[in-house]
Amino acid sequence: MSQVSAEIYLQRYLRLTPLSLALQRAVEAKHLASVVLKQPTLDLGCGFGEFAQVFFDQPVAVGVDICPKKINQAKKTGKYLKLVQADACQLPFKTESFNSVISVSALEHMTNPSKVLKEVLRVLKPEGQLVLTVVTDKWEQNLFYPELLQKVGLKKLADKYRQLFNQVFKHQQLLSQWEWEKHVRQAGFELKVSQAIVSPQIARFFDLFLITAWPAQLAKKMVGRRVVWRPLFMISLLTKVFKKYVDETEPVVGTNLFLVAIKSGK
């Protein structure tokens, strides 16, 4: 996997997803590209396969997701050698099957991340690496509309919005950076990298532009996948406008977390 700039990842994502998601994922992709993923690799919580389309030059060994509709759509990307529908708490793979496991903003949607992480440890080979991004508790604290509602004295409405937001996006665990690190270590991993990513401004943009995502989300309900179409000039324009926000050349007080952990060979 050759390292690509966040700008290029943003362009690629804008061909596939609503603006809100493209901004967040472009930042994640930039940081994930700093790690060399040894094969075979497992994509845990692969979803529709959008990240694989944008990120991987070569097909991924295995993608796994609990949702059969997402697995069916991921097959159409041609980015996986094998796709498996399974619960991440009970991975149907032999012990020490993979050299790398990657997971992109999936763990926060799972009810038992500790059990999932122990399963990941099991299927990794000695010295294998877990590379993941997760949304933290700072995400909901930096949403655009709740901030606006609080500024005009509507705190209860702001709290209700956050609650509804998390229900819509099926967030089960929005933990702090320290809590996520604790989960990883307690599962038996040696933590190598823990970096806050995705600035509060990106979180605000995500929330602000959600309204523009409704056609894609409606298509998702109707045909089982997002349908996004933008003319090339619009992709170019949006990339120029938002490039400086996704670059993140300096450390940020992030709303997401980038983690790299190793399974000790001892």
CA distances from 137 to 24, 65, 178 (A): 15, 24, 11
- Looking at residues 46-63, what average pLDDT do you find? 94
pLDDT of residue 2: 46
Six-digit token string for 244:
């400086």
Q: Residue 241 contacts by C-beta under 8 Å, 6 or more apart in sequence?
A: none
β-partners of residue 104 are 133
Q: Does the predicted model carry a pTM greater than 0.85?
A: yes
Rg value, the chain, Cα = 18
What is the share, in percent, of the chain residues with pLDDT greater than 90?
86
CA dihedral defined by 55, 108, 120, 263, rounded to 10 degrees? Answer: 80
For β-strands 98-104 and 256-262, DSSP reports them as unpaired
> How far is it, in rounded angstroms, from Cα 116 to Cα 223?
30
The per-residue pLDDT for range 130-168, each reduced to its tens digit, is: 999 999 999 999 999 999 999 999 999 999 999 999 999
Residue 58 pLDDT exceeds 70: yes
Question: Which has the closest alpha carbon to 19: 262, 263, 218, 207?
Answer: 207
- Looking at residues 216-229, what average pLDDT do you find? 67
**Chain centroid offset of residue 110 CA:** 13
Question: In the chain, what is the greatest distance between 2 CA atoms, to the nearest angstrom?
Answer: 57
Domains in the chain with CATH codes: 6-137+171-262 (3.40.50.150)
> How far is it, in rounded angstroms, from Cα 114 to Cα 184?
8
> How far is it, in rounded angstroms, from Cα 107 to Cα 111?
8
- Looking at residues 222-238, what average pLDDT do you find? 82
DSSP the chain: -----HHHHHHHHHTTS-HHHHHHHHHHHHHHTTS--PSSEEEET-TTSHHHHHH-SS-EEEEEES-HHHHHHHHTTT-EEEEEE--TTS--S-TT-EEEEEEES-GGG-S-HHHHHHHHHHHEEEEEEEEEEEEBTHHHHT-HHHHHHHHTT-HHHHHHHHHHHHHHTT----B-HHHHHHHHHHTT-EEEEEEEES-HHHHHHHHHGGGGGHHHHHHHHHHSS------HHHHHHHHHHHHHHHH--S----SEEEEEEE----
Residue 217 pLDDT exceeds 70: no
- Looking at residues 167-182, what average pLDDT do you find? 94
DSSP 44-93: ET-TTSHHHHHH-SS-EEEEEES-HHHHHHHHTTT-EEEEEE--TTS--S
